[in-house]
Amino acid sequence: MSKRATKVKSKLERMGLPDLQARFREVTGEASRSPNRKFLIRRIEEATASRAEVAPPASARRRGGRRAGEGGPSTPAQTPTPPVPTATPTTTPAAPPTDAPASAPPPRGRFASMSVEELKAKYLEVVKRPTGSDSKAYLVWKIREAEKGRVPVGPRKGRQSKGEPNDMRILPVRLEAAVVDKMDEAWRSRGIKNRMEFFRSAFGHYLAHLGAEAAAAAFTEASAA
């Protein structure tokens, strides 16, 4: 270690902690609140040594100063050329979106703007019967087909089997399979011929129970025939 370095270290060791922290900030450019005196001294010494390596010797500075003062030729300092600013490409901001283009085509088809309720009213007018459908596609299709004469219009006729008299009606009865099985087992065990006979007898019996004797007699006469 050189005499100068030894002298600097000795001076640092005699400093109080606040003075060491201030010297640390002055030499390193960083603030430190570390209470470790050895750490602070070591960092100060390293920063001082780095500065001494970068700075030119004092004799060289003196020689340079004398040549400049004596009017001798000196090399002019090279001024760095500032970078030429490049033109930043400008972008045209996009136009804000609008709710709809100015030339938006109108909805296609005369039914496009109609609601479901309006289509149902049109269906009743053209097909001549009401509908429970809420499908716009179906309603529009059925109206167009009726206008072209491709589907029947008017009230629906009751379903009639081929060869069945016009004075007969089919009554829809929907029951659970398990219920039907128990019912069939019951009327078979009583010697009833078929399910139709059982239904007629059951209807007549219940109508008589309700006091509708005339209606009950109709089922009795039909069973006897």
Q: How many Å apart are CA 5 and CA 39, to the nearest integer?
A: 16
Identify whether 215 is part of a domain.
yes
Identify whether 27 is part of a domain.
yes
pLDDT band at 161 (very low <50, low <70, confident <90, very high): low
Identify whether 212 is part of a domain.
yes
pTM of the predicted model as reported, rounded to 2 decimal places:
0.29
**What dihedral do alpha carbons 183, 185, 189, 192 form, nearest 10°?**
60
How many Cβ atoms from other residues are within 10 Å of residue 40's Cβ? 22
Identify whether 81 is part of a domain.
no
**Domain check: are 181 and 141 in the same one?**
no
**Domain check: are 149 and 188 in the same one?**
no
Identify whether 127 is part of a domain.
yes
**Domain check: are 8 and 54 in the same one?**
yes
- The 8 Å CB, 24+ separation contacts for 143-152 are 143/111, 143/119, 151/127
Q: How many Å apart are CA 33 and CA 18, to the nearest integer?
A: 9
**Region for 19 from its dihedrals, namely left if φ exceeds 0, alpha if ψ lies in -120 to 50, beta otherwise:** alpha
pLDDT band at 155 (very low <50, low <70, confident <90, very high): confident
Identify whether 10 is part of a domain.
yes
Which structural domain, as residue segments, surrounds residue 199?
Answer: 177-224
**Domain check: are 193 and 151 in the same one?**
no
What pLDDT does residue 90 have?
Answer: 52
Residue 26 has pLDDT above 90, yes or no: no
**Domain check: are 182 and 153 in the same one?**
no
Residue 189 has pLDDT above 60, yes or no: yes
Tokens of 69: 């003062």
Identify whether 66 is part of a domain.
no
Structural domain total, the chain: 3
